[in-house]
Chain A
Amino acid sequence: MVRLGLPALVVALLVVVALRSDRALPPAELIYVDAAPAFTLDPQRIAYEQDIRLGNALYEGLVRWDPETFDVLPGVAERWEIEDGGLKYTFRLRENARWSNGDRVVAGDFLHSWRRGLLPDTAGDYAKILFAIRGAKAFFDWRVGALKEYGARPAGARNGDTALAMWEESVRRFDELVGVRAPDDRTLVLELDRPLPYMLDLLAFVPTFPAHPGTVDRWSRLDAKTGRMEQDHSWTKPPRLVSNGPYRLVSWRFKRDMRMERNPHYWNAGAVKAGSVEARVIEDPNTRVLAFRTGAVDWVTDVHAEYLPDLLAEAEGSERPTIRGFDRFGTYFWSFNCTPTLSGGRSNPFVDARVRRAFSMGLDRRAIVEDLRRVGEHVAETFVPRGSIRGYDEDGSVRGLPFDVIGARDELARAGWSVREPGGELRNDRGEPFPVVTLLASTGSYHVLIAQAMASMWEKALGVRTSIVVKETKTYRDDLKRRDYIVARGGWFGDYADPTSFLNVHASGDGNNDRGYSNPAFDELMARAAGERDPEQRLALLEEAEQLSLDEAPIIPIWVYRQFYQYDAERISGITSHPRMAQFLHLIEPHGGGR
Chain B
Amino acid sequence: MSGLILRRLVQLPLVLLVIYSVTFALAWALPGSAVLQDEQRAPPPEVIAAMEARYDLDHPWAFYGGYLARLVTRGDFGPSLRYPDWSVGEIIAGALPVSMALGLAAVGIALVIGVGAGVVGAARPGGVLDVATLMLALLGISLPTFVAGAALLLLFPVALGLGSVGGWGGIGDLALPAFTLSLPFAAYIARLTRSGMIEAMRSDYVRTARAKGVSETGVLLRHALPNAFLPVLSYLGPAAAAAMTGSFVVERIFNVPGIGQHFVSAVLNKDLFLIMGVVLVYATILLVMNLMVDVLYRIVDPRIRAG
Q: Which residues of A contact B (CB under 8 A)?
A: 1, 3-4, 7-8, 11-12, 14-15, 18-19, 21-24, 33, 37, 39-42, 45, 47, 120-121, 123-128, 140, 144, 147, 151, 226, 228, 233-234, 236-237, 253-256, 280-284, 286-288, 290-291, 293-294, 296-297, 472-475, 477-478, 481, 491, 511-512
Contact = CB atoms under 8 A, between A and B. Distances in A.
A151 B54 CA distance: 11
A119 to B, nearest CB: 10
B153 interface: yes
A475 B257 CA distance: 27
Contact of A3 (B43, B94, B222, B299): B299
A287 B104 contact: no
B285 interface: no
Given A39-B85, A40-B84, A284-B252, A296 B53 contact: no
Interface string B165-199: 11111110010000000000000000000000000
A473 B31 CA distance: 10
B131 interface: no
B97 interface: yes
13 contacts: A7-B296, A14-B101, A23-B170, A24-B167, A123-B43, A140-B44, A236-B85, A255-B257, A287-B253, A294-B161, A296-B165, A473-B38, A512-B42
Contact of B158 (A23, A37, A293): A293
B253 A512 contact: no
Between B54, B222, B270, the greatest number of chain A beta carbons within 10 A of the residue's beta carbon is seen for B54
B22 interface: no
B108 A21 contact: no
Contacts of B39: 491
A19 B158 contact: no
Given A127-B43, A287-B254, A254 B166 contact: no
A101 to B, nearest CB: 20
Interface string B87-99: 0001100110110
Contacts of A23: 169-170
Given A15-B101, A40-B85, A254-B86, A228 B54 contact: yes
B225 interface: yes
Nearest to B94: A254
B38 A287 contact: no
Interface in B11-47: 30-33, 36, 38-47
B100 interface: yes
B268 A473 contact: yes
B100 A226 contact: no
Given A23-B170, A472-B268, A15 B105 contact: yes
Given A127-B44, A253-B257, A296-B165, A21 B97 contact: yes
Given A18-B100, A47-B40, 10 more contacts: A4-B296, A14-B100, A18-B101, A19-B170, A39-B83, A253-B94, A256-B168, A280-B166, A477-B32, A478-B31
Contacts of B90: 254
A38 to B, nearest CB: 8
B150 to A, nearest CB: 7
A564 to B, nearest CB: 17
B166 A18 contact: no
B38 A24 contact: no
Contacts of B60: none
B300 interface: yes
Given A125-B41, A475-B32, A283 B100 contact: no
Contacts of B40: 47, 125
Contact of B85 (A12, A237, A475, A478): A237
Contacts of A7: 296
Contacts of B154: 290
B50 interface: yes
A287 B296 contact: no
Given A236-B85, A290-B165, A296-B167, A14 B104 contact: yes
B126 interface: no
A125 B35 CA distance: 12
A511 B42 contact: yes
Nearest to B167: A296
Given A15-B101, A22-B169, A290 B43 contact: no
B133 interface: no
B142 interface: no
A42 B85 contact: yes
A474 B36 CA distance: 9
B209 to A, nearest CB: 15
A474 B101 contact: no
B38 A477 contact: yes
B284 interface: no
Contacts of B108: 8, 11-12, 15
Nearest to B34: A474
A270 to B, nearest CB: 31
Interface of B is mostly: helix
Contacts of A296: 164-167
| 3 A-B pairs with least C-beta separation | A24-B169, A474-B32, A291-B166
A19 B171 contact: yes
B157 interface: yes
Nearest to B99: A18
A581 to B, nearest CB: 15
B50 A121 contact: yes
Contacts of A41: 85
B226 interface: yes
B136 interface: no
A287 B168 contact: no
B145 interface: no
Contacts of B83: 37, 39-40, 254
Contact of A294 (B86, B165, B254, B257): B165
Interface in B245-284: 252-255, 257, 261, 268-270
B148 to A, nearest CB: 14
Nearest to B38: A473
A242 to B, nearest CB: 15
B33 A478 contact: yes
Contacts of B113: none
B50 A123 contact: yes
A33 to B, nearest CB: 7
Interface string B198-237: 0000000000000000000000011001100100000000
Contacts of A42: 84-85
B23 to A, nearest CB: 18
A256 B257 contact: yes
Nearest to A19: B101
Nearest to A143: B46
B300 A126 contact: no
Given A1-B226, A11-B108, A291 B252 contact: no
Between A18, A42, A297, the greatest number of chain B beta carbons within 10 A of the residue's beta carbon is seen for A18
Contacts of B46: 120, 144
Between B38, B86, B91, B300, the greatest number of chain A beta carbons within 10 A of the residue's beta carbon is seen for B86
B289 to A, nearest CB: 12
Interface in B47-66: 47, 50-51, 53-54
A594 B114 CA distance: 41
Given A18-B101, A474-B30, A297 B166 contact: yes
Contact of A1 (B153, B161, B164, B225): B225
Contact of A127 (B47, B84, B168): B47
A23 B97 CA distance: 12
Contacts of B168: 22, 24, 256
Contacts of B98: 18, 22
Contacts of A140: 44
Contacts of B30: 474
A4 B85 contact: no
Contacts of B50: 120-121, 123, 144, 147, 228
Contact of B36 (A15, A47, A281, A477): A477
A474 B38 contact: yes
Contacts of A226: 53-54
